[in-house]
Copies of this chain bind each other. A is one copy, B any other.
Amino acid sequence: MDTLPERVWRLTLAYDGTAYAGWQVQPGRATVQGLLNDKLAKLFGAPIRTQATSRTDAGVHALDQQVSAELPAIPPIPPGDALRALGKFLPDDIRVLAIDEAPLDFHARHAAAGKAYTYLIYRGLLRSPFLGRYAWPVAHPLDPAAMRRAAADLLGEHDFTPFSVNPRSDEPRDPVKTLHRCEVQELDRLLMITVVGNAFLYRMVRRLVGYLVAVGLGKLSPEGTPALFAANARTATFETALAQGLFLDRVFFSPEPLSTYRRTTLPFLDLR
C-alpha cells in the first residue's frame, strides 16, 4: 500500500520531443522523464519519483506538461533554486517553466480535469525544410469545411474505441470519454487542430487527426462520424497522424476551461 510522500512539488515542463523516446522512463533510451529523474536525483542526492499528466509518445512535444515529484521532507534547496539548477542541467530541448509546492496527495495524472492537444499539418506539395519536426506534411489539398463538419459530430460523450489502438498493457481504461472541443484553424500553410477532452485513449488524438485528414482529403464522408461510433470497432479506413505534429497544449486542473479553451498562436511560439 502506498503511503503519502513527505513533500510534493508540481513541475511545469515544455519540451521538443524530437530527440526522445517519449515521456516515460525506458531502460537504455533517452526519455524526458529519464533525464528529469536523473537531474532531480543529483539535486536531492536520492532517487525522486515523478508522474506526468500525459505520457507523451516518442516525437510528441509538450507546452505544458504537468509533473508531480515526490520529495524528501526537507528538500535541500528551495523551488526557485531548483528551477535555475534544472535550467542549467537539462538540455535546451527540455525546459522547466515553473516549480510549485503542491498538496501531499497531488498526483499529476489523477488530478487533471482535462487536457488540450494541438496538432499541426503542413499543407504543400513540397515539404518544408523548417517544420519537419513540428508538422505532418500533407501534399494533397484538404477541405477544412468538411473537416469541421466531421469534427462537430465528435464532440460530447462517446465510446471512442473507433479512434483508439490497442492500449498499453499496463493501462486498461474506460473507453468512454468526453470531447469538449475540436477546432480546425488555418494559418498560412498550416492547419491547426486543437482538441480538448476530459481524458484520451492511447493514441486517440493522432487517430482523431488521421480521421479528420481522411475526411479533408475526400477519402471519407464528413457525415460518417455517427456511423463510426455506432459500429464501435477499430477501423483501418484512415491513418494515424504522425507523432511529430502533436503538442500537449494545456493541462486543466478544473473543468471550467474545457469548454472554452482556444489556441490563438502557433504552439511553438507560445510558452506558458
Task: Say if the beta carbon of A189 comes within 8 Å of chain B.
Answer: yes
In the bound complex, what is the Cα–Cα distance between A134 and B93 (angstroms)?
Answer: 13
Residues facing B in A187-231 (CB within 8 A) are 187-190
Q: What are 22 pairs between A and B in contact, CB < 8 Å?
A: A14-B128, A15-B129, A16-B129, A16-B130, A61-B130, A87-B126, A92-B129, A93-B129, A94-B129, A95-B126, A95-B127, A95-B128, A95-B129, A130-B134, A130-B268, A130-B269, A187-B269, A188-B265, A188-B270, A189-B270, A190-B269, A266-B269
In the bound complex, what is the Cα–Cα distance between A189 and B63 (angstroms)?
Answer: 15
Task: Say if the beta carbon of A142 comes within 8 Å of chain B.
Answer: no
Task: Say if the beta carbon of A77 comes within 8 Å of chain B.
Answer: no
Task: Say if the beta carbon of A97 comes within 8 Å of chain B.
Answer: yes
In the bound complex, what is the Cα–Cα distance between A134 and B128 (angstroms)?
Answer: 14
- Contact bitstring A34-76, B, C-beta under 8 A = 1, else 0: 0000000000000000000000000001000000000000000
- How far in angstroms is the closest Cβ of chain B from A13? 9
Task: Say if the beta carbon of A132 comes within 8 Å of chain B.
Answer: yes
Task: Say if the beta carbon of A104 comes within 8 Å of chain B.
Answer: no
Chain B, Cβ-Cβ closest to A62: B129
Known: A93-B132, A132-B93. A188 touches B126 (CB 8 A): no
In the bound complex, what is the Cα–Cα distance between A127 and B271 (angstroms)?
Answer: 9
Residues facing B in A128-161 (CB within 8 A) are 128-132, 134
